[in-house]
A and B are shown apart, each in its own frame.
Chain A
Amino acid sequence: EAGVAQSPRYKIIEKRQSVAFWCNPISGHATLYWYQQILGQGPKLLIQFQNNGVVDDSQLPKDRFSAERLKGVDSTLKIQPAKLEDSAVYLCASSSRGAYNEQFFGPGTRLTVL
């Protein structure tokens, strides 16, 4: 079974530029999550999708971050404009059902904002 795929693996941009990350979850997984992991900290949930609907985006900085999951499969996370403090690893995870089920994580995208 293929795992969660993410691209790109690394991205370096200047502040105020925009950037987008892509995630392809495990086939058949209805739930998709985006997390932000700043160096030295644990991952922080940004947004959760159930199929193509948003379940929780309470910690998403909506003035600069946006995410979509068209057709309930792939997802993109965008930052526009980026700030220095957005430098982090962005992790995508998927699971087959809601509570109590294992979340499978992708390798992450490491973003550096200069």
Chain B
Amino acid sequence: GDSVTQMEGPVTLSEEAFLTINCTYTATGYPSLFWYVQYPGEGLQLLLKATKADDKGSNKGFEATYRKETTSFHLEKGSVQVSDSAVYFCALSDSGGGADGLTFGKGTHLIIQP
């Protein structure tokens, strides 16, 4: 079945550092890939997405490129801020017959120190 593996946390960085959170996936079809974020005390919200190979999703300074050859969708940001502290989830949707529920990784807790 489908699965998503992402780096375990917590990941602790200083403000303005470069961020990479690794994500790899296994899927039978041609999935869409997503990064969701959960800020403290809030619900899950979509950060960015990519629907086909070589697509780059971007939002709020974060980027991720859909790499089919390495089955990866790593999240990057050039300069993190304290406000980026949150839990980040990589996910895929391998829609077949309209069933497009998300398969999530375990989440990576990111802590940004001032």
Contact = CB atoms under 8 A, between A and B. Distances in A.
B91 interface: yes
A45 B94 CA distance: 13
Interface in A79-114: 91, 93, 98-100, 102-103, 105-108
> How many interface residues does chain A have, given as a range?
20 to 34
Contact of A106 (B43, B49, B51, B107): B43
> How many interface residues does chain B have, given as a range?
20 to 34
A61 interface: no
A56 interface: yes
A41 B97 contact: no
B72 interface: no
B6 to A, nearest CB: 9
Contacts, number: 62
Given A42-B106, A42-B107, A55 B43 contact: no
B32 A99 contact: yes
Contacts of B95: 98-100
**B-side binding surface: helix, strand, loop or mixed?**
loop
18 contacts: A40-B106, A42-B89, A42-B91, A42-B104, A42-B107, A50-B98, A55-B97, A55-B98, A55-B99, A91-B43, A98-B98, A98-B100, A99-B98, A99-B100, A100-B32, A100-B95, A105-B45, A107-B43
Given A45-B103, A99-B93, A105-B44, 11 more contacts: A3-B43, A42-B4, A42-B89, A44-B104, A48-B99, A91-B43, A99-B100, A100-B51, A100-B95, A102-B46, A103-B102
